[in-house]
């Protein structure tokens, strides 16, 4: 691989001298062209076959452009349709926004669509391999120059408070749900099962970066825990908007939103922007009995 295989300026603070080990690992990943997907050869791991077969739902360019995936990314990347919807939704609510953050950026499913919509996107992940995949995939989508990647665990990064000073307009996160077993119980315990911290602590760390927060959570999430976390951090009048996202008639997860512009936008999102720029889909909205959560069903096939 050529010497200029990656632009290290995009990997924040991975300095050749200060962080020798990380730098070397990153260089080796680039040199080996590690994790490149071969669209003509099925993945060896049988458990991942179903994801490989529907690979173009994850990245529509996967059959034509170099896309990079670790085993974990096959089942954790946000499908492109949802990532696109989310990026347009944020822009419709926050038309002036320029800087957004994707905590737990994984293989870049969300980072890429955010970078297609906003000029500056910060991506954070505890896995150097995943950050490398995000960068590579962003190159395939021609948006690598808009992204800045930080390696480390969110707990440590949030505690340092550096991102709080950057004027980030919206912070998004798709935290690990604990693998495909997340549906094993009827109600997903957002305090005990969500990684790397429970919903209240996670929301607090996100709110320390921006007042506009979005989390992508399991579809069976315990909504009372969301209400409690909201009130404990934002007071009794705090509000959260919960958007159920459906594709192919199947609810993929829910988007939980905090911040005035996201919870009570001046105009309803589907009517904002040109036809091309509108978040695509049908929304049904209702208030819960206490009026604290705005529940929305969003069917992307509608
Ligand atoms: C569900 S995946 C995110 C998928 C991503 N939105 C995408 O579309 O590719 C969760 C990610 O969180 C990362 N992660 C897990 N624990 C973390 C931590 N403590 N701090 C930062 N990232 C973490 C994992 O490495 C994984 O890439």
Ligand 1 pocket residue status of 35, Cβ below 6 Å: no
Range of the domain at 253: 8-299
Number of domains in the chain: 1
Q: How far, in Å, is the centroid of ligand 1 from the Cα of 267?
A: 32
The angle subtended at Cα 297 by Cα 294 and Cα 298, nearest 5°, is 120
Please report the atom of ligand 1 found closest to the CA of residue 76.
1
Question: What single string gives the DSSP state of each residue in 71-117?
Answer: HHHHHHSPPHHHHHHHHHHHHHH-TT--EEEEES-TTSHHHHHHHHH
Per-residue pLDDT of the chain (302 residues; tens, 9 = 90+): 344 566 767 888 777 777 888 889 999 999 999 999 999 999 999 999 999 999 999 999 999 999 999 999 999 999 999 999 999 999 999 999 999 999 999 999 999 999 999 999 999 999 999 999 999 999 999 999 999 999 999 999 999 998 888 999 999 999 999 877 888 889 999 999 999 999 999 999 999 999 999 999 999 999 999 999 999 999 999 999 999 998 878 899 999 999 999 998 665 554 333 344 444 445 555 544 343 455 555 556 54
Does residue 139's CB lie within 6 angstroms of at least one atom of ligand 1? no
Please give the pLDDT value at position 13. 78
Asked whether the ipTM of the predicted complex exceeds the cut of 0.85, the reply is yes
- Domain assignment present for 215: yes
Please check whether residue 54 is in contact with residue 79, taking contact to mean a CB–CB distance below 8 angstroms.
Answer: no
Closest CA to ligand 1's atom 3? 106
Using CA atoms in the order 89, 109, 99, 146, what is the torsion angle rounded to 10 degrees? -130
Rounded distance between C-alpha atoms, residue 55 and residue 61, angstroms: 9
Q: Look up the pTM and report it.
A: 0.90
pLDDT of residue 95: 96
3 within a domain of the structure (yes/no): no
pLDDT value, residue 238: 93
**pLDDT tens by residue, 93-144:** 999 999 999 999 999 999 999 999 999 999 999 999 999 999 999 999 999 9
Q: What pLDDT is stored for residue 301 in this prediction?
A: 56
* Closest to 243 measured CA to CA, from 295, 203, 287: 295
CA triple 58-62-67, angle to 5 deg: 95
C-beta of 108 in contact with ligand 1 (< 6 A)? yes
Residues 6 or more apart whose Cβ sits within 8 Å of residue 41: none
Q: Where residue 20 sits, what CATH number does that domain have? A: 3.40.50.150
57 within domain boundaries: yes
The verdict on residue 234 lying in a domain is yes
Say which residue the tokens 């991975």 belong to.
14
Q: Indicate whether 148 belongs to any domain.
A: yes
Indicate which atom in ligand 1 lies nearest the CA of residue 106. Answer: 27
**237 alpha carbon – ligand 1 mean position (Å):** 31
194 vs 182: CA distance, rounded Å: 9
């Amino acid at each position: 691989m050529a010497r200029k295989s990656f632009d290290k300026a995009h990997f924040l603070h991975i300095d050749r001298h200060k962080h020798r080990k990380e730098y070397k690992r990153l260089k080796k990943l680039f040199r080996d062209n590690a994790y490149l997907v071969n669209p003509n050869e099925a993945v060896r791991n049988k458990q991942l076959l179903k994801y490989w077969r529907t690979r173009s739902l994850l990245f529509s360019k996967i059959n034509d452009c170099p896309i990079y995936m670790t085993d974990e990314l096959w089942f954790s990347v946000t499908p492109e349709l949802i990532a696109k919807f989310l990026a347009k939704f944020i822009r419709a609510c926050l038309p002036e926004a320029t800087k957004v953050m994707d905590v737990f950026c994984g293989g870049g499913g969300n980072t890429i669509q955010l970078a297609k919509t906003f000029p500056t996107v910060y991506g954070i992940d505890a896995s150097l391999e995943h950050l490398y995949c995000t960068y590579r995939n962003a190159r395939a989508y021609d948006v690598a120059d808009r992204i800045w990647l930080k390696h480390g665990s969110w707990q440590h990064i949030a505690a340092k408070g550096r991102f709080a000073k950057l004027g980030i307009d919206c912070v998004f996160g798709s935290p690990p749900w604990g693998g495909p077993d997340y549906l094993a119980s009827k109600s997903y315990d957002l305090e005990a099962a969500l990684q790397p911290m429970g919903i209240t602590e996670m929301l607090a760390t996100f709110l320390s970066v921006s007042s506009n927060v979005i989390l992508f959570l399991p579809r069976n999430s315990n909504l009372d825990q969301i209400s409690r976390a909201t009130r404990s951090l934002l007071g009794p009048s705090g509000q959260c908007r919960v958007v159920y996202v459906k594709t192919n008639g199947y609810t993929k997860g829910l988007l939980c939103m905090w911040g005035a512009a996201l919870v009570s936008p001046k105009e309803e999102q589907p009517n904002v922007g040109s036809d091309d720029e509108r978040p695509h889909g049908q929304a049904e909205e209702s208030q819960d009995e206490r009026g604290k959560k705005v529940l929305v069903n969003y069917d992307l096939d509608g």
